[in-house]
Amino acid sequence: MKFNNPFYELSARLVDFLPKGKRTTRRILYRLWNSYPSWDPWILKDGDIYRLFYLGGASQLVHWWMNGTIYGAISTDMKTWQDVGALLEVNPANSWESGRMLAGSAYKEDGVYYLFYSAAGKGLEIMNEGIGLATSVDGLHWERSSNRELVKPDDNHRWYGQFKRQMGYDEYDHYQWRDPYVVKDRESGKYYMFICAYLKEGGEGKYRGCVGVAVADKIGGPYELLPPAATPFVEGTKESPFYEMERPQVIYRNGKYHLFFSCWTMWLNPSWVKKVGKDKITDSTLYWYVSDRITGPYEPVSEKPIVKGSDRTGIYGTNFFPAPDNPEEFIAYGWYYRRMTLAIKPKVRVCWNNDSIEIVNLPQWQRNSNNQPVILSEVR
């Protein structure tokens, strides 16, 4: 797969300028840039370089996500990237990861690289998701630590389960267990893994999206499952506002732990949307919860807990990462879901004050007397 394909990029950009009525032309362009879809990136700072991991798929007109592979690239400035090809592909020998690769996170400790990833089987198991671990000594060649899943609840687990097909609901069984985000706690030294999961105990109906959490004394495990870190409910119900809480990320700042995640608008609970209103809610909206403890419970920062400006970035699965020119600041990155291209630009900054967060473009900032960024205008 090409990391940068000029023809693919051009066709992707043209879609945004076409009138909605030009269906035939739009359909042709969508097919062109769906030939090389790229999505769900994550980044590891490794000394003076940045290691990028992302998902890529082969040409597929409809279900592009069903054949993901983990690819990689390297950069010194987060502007120009060198493609290093496929890093981890499906493994036909392991049924649980024989169908498609999903997103994860990366860590480096004592000279060893750790790649936490998620995957699913093939055929009827395409929605049965699991989490695995691969390691490397050079960041390029990876070896799975086991042919078994690193951590997953059994069928009788108390807190986590799967969405069972029911009359009137979607026509499949979905075991949500993906997008592992691993962070080392600054106080205990333990490793916590946050997971896009499905609430079993205490939930009702289709909408049971939650963020699961597991803990380990060593980065490679074993990981012990803990109660969900975030179990949001629509007031007066036992339903979550979200069917899924994707790409969870936890950041410690200003004395608190901050949880961020994404959810497609098609998977939002209509009763919650009706209650809070559709304003500022798009596919790129980033949701924001907070807690005094790393294990939670995480609560919404407001009735409508969204990061300001995220609804207009056009980026899905947004994560934050220290800016290359100032580690005290963050950039916002993810992937442009309309173009199926990666969205990694140092100029897309996170203006994070004590009680507010806003995603802005760097040219729209200026510095005050305390050398802090000041917003000049909103993202367009």
Q: Which positions make up the binding site for substrate? A: 103, 178-179
Q: Which whole-number Å values give the CA distances from 12 to 34, 109, 127, 350, in the listed order?
A: 9, 38, 28, 26
DSSP 33-62: HTTS-EEEEEEEEETTEEEEEEEE----SS
Query: Cα–Cα distance between 290 and 39 in angstroms, integer?
Result: 27
Binding residues: 103, 173, 178-179
Answer for the pair 225, 153: CB distance below 8 angstroms, yes or no.
yes
Closest CA relative to residue 113, chosen from 26, 190, 35, 44: 44
Query: Cα–Cα distance between 266 and 39 in angstroms, integer?
Result: 18
Q: Is the dihedral of CA 313, 317, 321, 324 positive or negative?
A: negative
Beta bridge partners of 246: 262
CB atoms within 10 A of CB 45: 15
For the purposes of burial, counting CB atoms within 10 Å of the CB of 188, is it exposed (0-12), middle (13-18) or buried (19 or more)? exposed
Hey, what are 360's tokens? 């802005």
Contacts of the segment 362-371: beta carbons below 8 A, 24+ positions apart: none
* Neighbouring residues of 283: CB distance < 8 A, sequence distance ≥ 6: 264, 265, 316, 337
Q: How many residues does the chain have?
A: 380
Helix then strand then coil, in percent of the chain rounded to 5, is: 10, 45, 45
Q: CA angle at residue 366 from 360 to 371, to 5 degrees?
A: 110
Query: Cα–Cα distance between 19 and 192 in angstroms, integer?
Result: 47
Binding residues for Ca(2+): 173
Hey, what are 226's tokens? 């803990």
